[in-house]
Amino acid sequence: MLKIDKSKVEFLVTAGMVQEVKEILARDLPKIQKIVDEVLKRGTERVYFVACGSPLSAAETAKQLFDLYSSIPCEAYSGWDFCDNTPRKLDEKCLVIAISHYGKTEEVIQSLEIAKQHGASTVGVTNKVENPLASIGDYVIDYHAECIWEAHLIISYAFALKIISQLEPNTEVETIYAQLSQLPSVLEKLIISYEETGRQLGEKASKWPFIYSIAGGILRPLAYKEGIVTLLEFTWTNGSSLNSAEFRHGPLEVVEQGVPFIFLLGTDASRHTTERALNFVKRYDSEVITFDYAELGQGLHPLLAPMVLFVPLEWFCYYLAIYKDHNPDDRRYYGGIVEY
């Protein structure tokens, strides 16, 4: 096990998370309301999110709010997909929200430039305003936080929920938005209570050579974020993310004793689908870890699960890396160390 001062590990964002979330809720949500008011006055009819990596997973999660509660078209694009296959319906009736923590991701910047050329309203979501992305957008949300998953998800949700509320009012949408204010207390409890469990699970999983991460519904983008972005980049653990709705159609053939799985189990309508895959795996394999929102959600709405389950997964992935003698801040290639 790697001996390390966890307070100096940039990957681990739990220390400042609660205060950062409080500040985002207090400072940025009113700004988002104002932006939504202005862009809807221009006749906005479609919404496009553009991002890469973890921010894209957050955007794909918020897209589901549009799918579930409105008839407003919304898509979430990876940066180069937007640049290379620019949607035909990109015009002054569109709102394009581009997300990049450092504001330097070239394909996200290019996407926002393309959006402006087509007359779309544009928003740059980034950590601070002193970067290229912030200088391009018509509007900027600079969230000043290191807990980027929570920041990107809350901001993306706020845009989605406020647009839906104004164009197609829905009481459940209002409930979800109102419960955002409860997040700081819920996250704080989990940060304190889950570390030891996360350590134990991380130690267990450190013996696994690879991990399949499984989820459905609102948790599917988080499963990708954790199973691909986090496990591969930060823990150097091979693996893949699978959609529980597709588990029967191919993936079940790899199930046998010794094949490791992580399941993210929500309380939304997809729960039965993920449970079916989970129960199948448990019949043939004991190498299974489950993160269950029914046990961890503290009564919050099912669609807030991605924000809540991030904390248990953060502890788990941190200790997984530590027990593999790997500092999650270390990189071989990422961030300009070598040319890509």
Q: What is the DSSP string of 24-45?
A: IIIIIHHHHHHHHHHHHHTT--
Residue 108 in contact with residue 74, Cβ under 8 Å? Answer: no
**pLDDT-derived band of residue 51, with 50, 70 and 90 as boundaries?**
very high
DSSP reduced 3-state for 241: strand
Query: Which amino acid, one-letter code, is at 255?
Result: V
Q: What pLDDT, on the 0 to 100 scale, is given for residue 336?
A: 65
Order the strands of the 288-292 sheet from edge to edge: 238-243, 210-215, 261-265, 288-292
Q: What pLDDT, on the 0 to 100 scale, is given for residue 3?
A: 86
Residue with tokens 């923590």: 101
DSSP 8-class letter at 92: T
Q: What pLDDT, on the 0 to 100 scale, is given for residue 1?
A: 81
**pLDDT-derived band of residue 331, with 50, 70 and 90 as boundaries?**
confident
Q: Using CB atoms within 10 Å of the CB of residue 262, give its burial: 0 to 12 exposed, 13 to 18 middle, 19+ buried.
A: buried
194-323 CATH pick, 3.40.50.150, 2.60.40.10, 3.40.50.10490, 3.40.50.9100: 3.40.50.10490
Which are the contacts of 229, defined by CB distance < 8 A and separation ≥ 6? Answer: 53, 54, 57
Distance CA 110, CA 82 (A): 9
Q: Where are the domains positioned within the chain?
A: 7-181, 194-323
Residue 301 has pLDDT above 70, yes or no: yes
Neighbours of 226 (CB within 10 A): 30
Residue 335 has pLDDT above 70, yes or no: no
Mean pLDDT confidence for 233-256: 96
Residue 167 has pLDDT above 80, yes or no: yes
Distance CA 237, CA 120 (A): 40
| Nearest residue to 149 via CA among 55, 44, 245 | 55
Q: In this structure, what token pair is assigned to residue 245?
A: 């709705």
Widest pairwise Cα distance in the chain:
58
What's 7-181's CATH class? Answer: alpha beta
Query: Which amino acid, one-letter code, is at 9?
Result: V
Q: What pLDDT, on the 0 to 100 scale, is given for residue 93?
A: 97
Mean pLDDT of the chain: 96
| 194-323 shares the fold of 7-181 | yes
**pLDDT-derived band of residue 182, with 50, 70 and 90 as boundaries?**
very high
Residue 337 has pLDDT above 80, yes or no: no
Residue 231 has pLDDT above 80, yes or no: yes
